[in-house]
Amino acid sequence: MANLTLRILLLVVALFLFIPTGCVAPSEEADAPGEPVGDWTVLGPGGGGSTFIPTISPHDPATMLVRCDMSGAYLTRDGGKQWKMLNFPGGAQAFAFDPSNPETMYVGATGVHRSTDGGRTWGMIFPRDDTVVEIQSINDHAMTSYVTTDNFPQDPGTTVRSIFIDPANPDHILAAISSGSVNGVFRSQNAGKAWDLALESADRIVRILSLSDSERSVLVFTRNSWRILDLDTGEAGADNALGPDVAPISWVESGLDPASGSPLLWSIRQDNREGDGGLLTSLDRGRSWRAVEPIDPPAEAEGRRPSFNYVATSRADGRVAYLVCNRSWELNERGEVGLWYGILKTVDAGESWDWVYRAGGGSEDYTIRDGWAAENVKDSWVREAFEGEFIAAINVGVSPKDPDLAVFTDWYRVMKTTDGGELWEATYAETLPDGRIRSRGLDVTTCYGIHFDPFDQDHIAISYTDIGYFHSYDRGKTWKRSVEGVPPAWDNTCYWMQFDPEVKSKLWSAWSSLHDIPKLKMIRNPRWQEFAVGGVCVSTDGGNSWTVSSDGLPETSPTTSLVLDPTSPVNQRVLYAAVYGQGVYKSVDDGKSWQSKSEGLGRNLNAWELVLSPDGALYLVITHNTQFENGVALPDLLDGEVYRSTDGAESWQKVQLPEGSRFPNSISVDPSDPKRLYVALWASMMKADFGRFEDGRTLLESNGGVLMSEDAGANWKPVFDSKAYVYGTTVDPNQPERLYLVTFHNSAYRSEDRGNTWQKIPGYSFRWGHRPIIDPLDPEWLYITTFGGSLFHGKP
């Protein structure tokens, strides 16, 4: 059964590449689709993934920025009625608004990005575009680094963690940057034209913080110390240790006492041993700190202390603070000790605290509805989908000018209050009077496929990570979540589904408690196969309800792919299922029962994708794997493989890929010539991607890109950049010489000559792309599933 450990994996922060455009939410008409940006529209129900660091403009309370953990950032100029997606190398990690110009804003990602027109267009100012010689990518997430001619750190994983703009001189910019070679504050005195290293630290910098707009110095906080940096001279003061009762800190905020004008600092102490966070405050500019206890746990909690992971205050009134509580063990209405979470608030500098958003009270298992939802919430689909489950609050942001205006984020939502927490309203989506769901443009969730009803061209479905299965009866304008009948332990992720082409309203779906397969972060835990469950469900009412159809599958069956043999008899269909970690299973009775069909496969049974060729051959992609012994990852790492079966999966023969092609992701077959195959490949990874190794930085070199075979896999030739991380390819069935591919490099490509030459598709710019899927209503249009940005639809 899925547990809290699995769910926390959703919070792993993602990385990486290129620059803007994105999507805007639907118009106010109930049946309007999302507004296109360029030639692309993002479809989906809105929300569905973790979001972080909500930041409100000091000039306009309706202008806000928020980031997700899947590379996208989002901007609203109307208080959350509509959001625009922004994409930056490395994914946004820091936001800042120019204190003197409301149209100028900054985003810190792998580099420093700036917009001077209210977020419509963006440019990179450190490193500048004209200094970038090469953009490099590496590892399971295609982590980005720059090779430049300036002094920007050129290590993989370089991150801009905090940005500060001088209120007296907006040309004076500070950026805290962490990389493998340096942790430091870089300074520009000429609006980003040139930069120097003003302060270097042995520890990762948490934040650059100004205590008042009139002061000519800032405090630079690392996890374990703080220093004063002079804004005029660039000189840094002595390093001041925070001390063992304070450090390490994970966040720090400041505001002013309106009565005295003195600053008040708030900080979160992170206890790395226990994973608990404590709250501290300072009234003397960080020289000394006092622990604050907002919650007095009951005796029944048996020593389990509450944990806090984020705090925010208004610049105008530092006495008012909102505190994110991610765990508090308190009594519930049943008289039991339950796990609560939410937002606490103080208006008197921490002397007293009140819950302004409180939910939970049940177990730690987010699949069990034994808790309570908050009453002071006006929500959309997330409340209905996950009411009573454990949903951890993540971050909170407060308006610099108005302490009653705040935003909090959690695993699925962005919620806003304008009355100090009396009522929180959804900004990620809205539910229409008839129950349909419409996105506000804040689509942050991974999807694997777009699926088309053969009997109703307006009925489409999306298979999602974390939020299961959504379908639409107006071709993506509005949505409905449908998991009724799916076991709660499974319904985290729907990896794939298959309509019956001859039976109206009949379809099968593949489910798993383990999300984000085939990302290696999901199988680093040596016990992953013990808690990864899933299976197959069938629906006879168009996906509105489901029945388990998994007889014969093991209990631990995270199912990732389904194929239906269209030549098999109606109501006695032959189906094939890829079960991650278990191999291939086959059903000859419409999915009612299944038998293992893995003869000929090797040690690696991470069956990921099945493809049925027009000539009846069945292809299987097995992705890379880690081996464990006594809970320890072995150095014997297993590469991915491709297999073919010509006897209905009764036996499998390995398709030999060229040497050095270690990490296949997917396979496509030319419908006009079944001997022509295309395999998409991941490029080099680091050993640390597979688990904890002393030599984790060792590079596991592999050819990426795309391979093509014209003789059913006997021979191969590369037809795309071997350094590229390519997730998927597709062949246009109407024009087989036309191919599409999608990368983890903020790009997608089209070829009109079977891969001999490629053209980058304009307008599409999401960092992590999954599968290209041709629109069956118009083959000139394309869908692209993504790792964290929902579904793109556009005309290349």
pLDDT digits (tens, 9 = 90+) for 284-316: 999 999 999 999 999 999 888 899 999 999 999
Closest CA to 655 of 685, 624, 626, 622: 622
Backbone conformation region of residue 766, classed left if phi is above 0, alpha if psi is from -120 to 50, else beta: beta
Q: How far apart are CA 125 and CA 29, in angstroms?
A: 39
Confidence of residue 627 (pLDDT cuts 50, 70, 90): confident
Q: Other C-beta atoms within 10 Å of 608: how many?
A: 21
Q: How far apart are CA 787 and CA 743, in angstroms?
A: 11
pLDDT at site 775: 96
In tens, the pLDDT along 732-763 reads: 999 999 999 999 999 999 999 999 999 999 98
pLDDT at site 274: 55
pLDDT at site 365: 79
Q: Which residue has the higher pLDDT, 366 or 617?
A: 617
In tens, the pLDDT along 569-610 reads: 999 999 999 999 999 999 999 999 999 999 999 999 999 999
Q: How far is CA 131 from the centre of its chain?
A: 30
Is the pLDDT assigned to residue 690 strictly greater than 90? no
Confidence of residue 696 (pLDDT cuts 50, 70, 90): confident
pLDDT at site 628: 82
Q: Does the predicted model carry a pTM greater than 0.85? A: yes
Q: Are 389 and 3 in contact (CB under 8 A)?
A: no
Q: How far apart are CA 722 and CA 704, in angstroms?
A: 4
Which of 63-67, 406-410, 629-633 has the lowest average pLDDT? Answer: 629-633
Q: Which residue has the higher pLDDT, 88 or 579?
A: 579
pLDDT at site 5: 35
pLDDT at site 367: 80
* Both tokens assigned to 633: 């990852």
Instruction: Tell me which DSSP letter residue 616 carries.
Output: S
Q: How far apart are CA 29 and CA 35, in angstroms?
A: 12
* Both tokens assigned to 191: 């609006």
The percentage of the chain sitting over the pLDDT mark of 70, rounded to a whole number, equals: 95
Is the pLDDT assigned to residue 13 strictly greater than 50? no
Render 325-346 in DSSP notation, one character per residue. Answer: EEEEEEE-TTSSEEEEEEEEEE
Paired sense of beta strands 377-378 and 424-426, if any: parallel
**Could you give the count of Cα atoms lying within 13 Å of 655 in the half-sphere of its Cβ?**
29
Ranges 210-214, 254-258, 385-389, most confident:
254-258
Q: Are 613 and 619 in contact (CB under 8 A)?
A: yes
Residue with tokens 């020289």: 287
Greatest alpha-carbon span in the chain: 82
pLDDT at site 2: 35
Tell me the sheet residues that pair with 72. Answer: 87
For the chain, the 3-state helix, strand and coil shares in percent, each to the nearest 5, are 5, 45, 55
Is the pLDDT assigned to residue 319 strictly greater than 90? yes
pLDDT at site 608: 98
pLDDT at site 484: 97
Helix (H, G, I), strand (E, B) or coil at 130: helix
pLDDT at site 4: 34
Sheet of strand 493-499: strand arrangement: 493-499, 507-512, 534-539, 547-548
In tens, the pLDDT along 757-771 reads: 999 999 898 999 999
Mean pLDDT, the chain, integer: 92
pLDDT at site 14: 30
pLDDT at site 29: 35
* Both tokens assigned to 74: 């989002």
* Both tokens assigned to 503: 């039976």
Closest CA to 755 of 670, 686, 695: 670
